[in-house]
Amino acid sequence: MIHPSRTLYLLVSIICTLVALSCTSSEENNKEHLVFRYNEHSNIPTLDPAFARNPQIIWPTNQLYNGLVQLDDSLNIQPDIAKRWEVNDSTQTYTFYLRDDVYYHNNKAFAPDSTRKVVASDFAYSFDRLTDPKVASPGSWVMNNVASYNAPNDSTFIIQLKQPFPAFLGLLSMRYCSVVPKEAVEEYGSEFRRNPVGTGPFQFKLWEENIKLVFRRNPHYFETDAEGNALPYLEAVAITFLPDKQSEFLQFAQGNIDLVSSLDNSYKDEIITTTGQLQPKYEEAVKLITSPYLNTEYLGFFLGGDTPEIQSKALRQAVNYGFDREKMITYLRNGMGIPAVNGVIPKGLPGFADIDGYDYQPEKARQLIEQYKTETGDTNPEIVIGTNSQYLDICEYVQRELEKLGLNVTIDVVPPSTLRQMKSTGELDVFRASWIADYPDAENYLSLFYSENFTPNGPNYTHYKNNTFDSLYIAARSISSLDLRKELYQKMDSIVIADAPIVPLFYDKAIRFVRKEVSGLGINPQNFLVLKHVKKTPSM
C-alpha cells in the first residue's frame, strides 16, 4: 500500500513534469515563429559581398552587410552607415559622414568573441578589395569611374570621380560596396566566403552547403524602427537548398517555408488564375505581392556578324511586329508581366515613357518580310534563336507566329551557362536575354547600346552602334538634373527601338507568395530581399 503522502508526492511530480514539458514546448513554439524560412534552389557559392553578382548571393548578403547608402522600396537613396553626405558637382567629389554606433558582428578575428566599431578606413579597405586582382571581384567595374578615395579621419570618407556620373549614389547601394573588416578577411583568407563578418541585422551562425544556412539576430544592430524599437524583430533566418522549384512550392504549400519568389511553369496554374489572381484555395493562407520589376526580357540580334537576315533592319522590325505580346503574357505568364510595347527602359524607372514601340501588326510584319525578300533575293529567310529551357515556351510562341508570316525560325536550346558564353562571344545570331538593373537609373539599360561597351569590354551584346545615340549617352552622363536626363533617356530609347537591335518581350514583375503569418515584408523593383522589418505571428 502506498502511503498517501507518497501518492501526493508522485502526483505533484507528474504535474510539475507536464508543466515543464508544456513550457518547453511553448518556448520552442514561440521561437519557431521568430524564424523566417525561404528556399534557394540555386547554389550559394559565397557570402563575400565582393562576389554578390546575382540574386542568390545578394539575398543572403543583404542580411549580413551594410554600405554607405541604401535604397528604400521606392528606390529612393537613404542613409545607411553614412548618416549624411555632400556632393560637389564642380569637382565630382562625394563626402560621406559616418555614424559612430556601427559595430561588426562578434567574431574571433577581433579577439575571443569580440567586435569593434566601423571606421572610414574600413571603406577604403573594402573598395581596395574590389579592384585587387588577387580577389578578382566581378564587381570591380563599380570602381571604373572612381579617381580616388580616402579617409581623412574615422568618421569621414571622400570619393572623387574621374568624370560626372549622376547615378553614382545608386551604384553605391549595391552589395559589392559593403563594408568588411580587414581582420576577418585576413583571419579566414579564402574561407571568408563561408565565414562572413559584417554589420548587418543578422549574423552568420551555420552553413551546411547545399543543405541549410542559418543566420541569427544581431543584438547590436544600429537601426531602429519609427518608434525607436531595435531591429530586426526576427530571431533567425533559415535557408534551405531544394534544387527544383516544384519541391520548393510543395514546401511552401505545406507551411514549411514562408516565401516563394517568382512564378515557375511547374506551379503557376496551381496557385494563380489566368488573370493573375490567387486561386481560391490559397486565399486564406497566402498573400500575393507584386511590383514592377527592373527587368526587361528581350531577344537580341548580334549585329557584329554578316548574316543577311540579321543585318536587315526591315527583317528585325518584322520580328518586332510579328507576335502579340498581350496574348503571350496572358497565356504563358498568367498575366504576370507587362507587354513590352514601349522601349527598352522598364516601367518603374525614371525615363520609362509611352514611346512608339512595337505593337502587334501582322500585316506590316508580312510586308517587311516581303521587302527583305525583294531587296536580297532570298526567298526563304530564316533566323535561329538561342535560348535556355526556362524560356522555351516564349520562344516557341514567337516561332509559331513568325512562321505564319513567312519567316522560318529554328530554336537552339542550350544550358544557361552555355547561352551566357555564346551571347558574350557573338556566337548566336539571335539570343534570348534579360537585363536586371544593377542600380536604379535608366543609364544602366542604355549602356547596353553604347558602342564603347561592345562585349567583352561591356554589356553591349548586340554590338549596336549609332553615333547620335552615343553622343546623347555621353551628354546624359554629365547632367545632374534627373528631369533633363529623362528627356535624353527617352530620345535614346526611341533611337534604339527604331533601329531594332533587340525585340523587347516584356517588362517583368517582381512576384512574391508569402504566408499570412508574415508581415513587414515589402517588395521593391529590384526584387531584393530585406528582412530587418519582418515580423511573424504564430501559425494557428
Query: Could you list the residue range(s) of the whole structural domain that residue 312 is in?
Result: 292-510
The single-letter code of the amino acid at 335 is G
Residue 70 to residue 439: CA distance in whole angstroms: 11
Average pLDDT over residues 520-539: 93
Please indicate, yes or no, if residue 12 is contained in any of the structural domains: no
Decide: 206 and 214 in contact? Cβ < 8 Å. Answer: yes
Distances in Å between the alpha carbon of 390 and those of 42, 136, 508, 511?
Answer: 14, 30, 15, 17
Please indicate, yes or no, if residue 287 is contained in any of the structural domains: no
Indicate if 308 and 331 belong to the same structural domain: yes
Indicate if 73 and 174 belong to the same structural domain: yes
Computed over every residue of the chain, the mean pLDDT equals 92
Please indicate, yes or no, if residue 18 is contained in any of the structural domains: no
Please indicate, yes or no, if residue 9 is contained in any of the structural domains: no
Local structure of 178: helix, strand or coil: coil
**Residues making up the chain, counted from first to last:** 540
Indicate if 212 and 301 belong to the same structural domain: no
DSSP track, 303-366? TTS--HHHH-HHHHHHHHHSS-HHHHHHHHSTT-SEE--S-SSPTTSBTB---------HHHHH
Location of C-alpha cell 568588411: 180
Q: 270 pLDDT exceeds 70?
A: yes
Long-range contacts (CB closer than 8 Å, 24 or more residues apart) made by 271-277: 271/513, 272/334, 272/336, 273/334, 274/330, 274/331, 274/334, 274/335, 275/334, 275/335, 276/334, 276/335, 276/336
Residue 210 to residue 362: CA distance in whole angstroms: 48
Indicate if 216 and 352 belong to the same structural domain: no
170-211 pLDDT, tens per residue? 999 999 999 999 999 999 999 999 999 999 999 999 999 899
Q: Which helix (H) or strand (E) holds 400?
A: helix 392-404
Residue 536 to residue 33: CA distance in whole angstroms: 6
Indicate if 246 and 132 belong to the same structural domain: yes
Indicate if 305 and 243 belong to the same structural domain: no
Indicate if 182 and 312 belong to the same structural domain: no
Please indicate, yes or no, if residue 4 is contained in any of the structural domains: no
Number of alpha carbons in the 13 Å side-chain half-sphere of residue 151: 16
Q: How many domains does the chain have?
A: 2
Q: How many CB atoms lie within 10 A of CB 425?
A: 12
Indicate if 73 and 189 belong to the same structural domain: yes
Say which residues have a Cβ less than 8 Å from residue 55's Cβ, sequence separation at least 6: 527, 528
Find the DSSP H helices in 48-175. Answer: 55-64, 120-131, 168-172
Please indicate, yes or no, if residue 261 is contained in any of the structural domains: no
DSSP track, 191-223? GGGGS----SSEEEEEEETTTEEEEEE-TT---
Angle at 127 between CA 110 and CA 530, to 5 degrees: 75
Q: How far is CA 157 from the centre of its chain?
A: 27
Average pLDDT over residues 360-381: 97
Indicate if 152 and 223 belong to the same structural domain: yes
Q: How many CB atoms lie within 10 A of CB 28?
A: 9
Q: What is the CATH number of the domain that holds 160?
A: 3.40.190.10
307-351 pLDDT, tens per residue? 999 999 999 999 999 999 999 999 999 999 999 999 999 988 888
Indicate if 411 and 297 belong to the same structural domain: yes
Indicate if 440 and 482 belong to the same structural domain: yes
407-450 pLDDT, tens per residue? 999 999 999 889 999 999 999 999 999 999 989 999 999 999 99
17-59 pLDDT, tens per residue? 333 434 444 444 557 789 999 999 888 999 999 999 999 999 9
Distances in Å between the alpha carbon of 300 and those of 412, 463, 466?
Answer: 14, 10, 16
Indicate if 214 and 119 belong to the same structural domain: yes
Please indicate, yes or no, if residue 306 is contained in any of the structural domains: yes
Q: What is the CATH number of the domain that holds 471?
A: 3.10.105.10
Average pLDDT over residues 213-232: 97
Please indicate, yes or no, if residue 308 is contained in any of the structural domains: yes
66-94 pLDDT, tens per residue? 999 999 998 899 999 999 999 998 899 99
Task: Provide the β-strand partners of residue 384.
Answer: 410
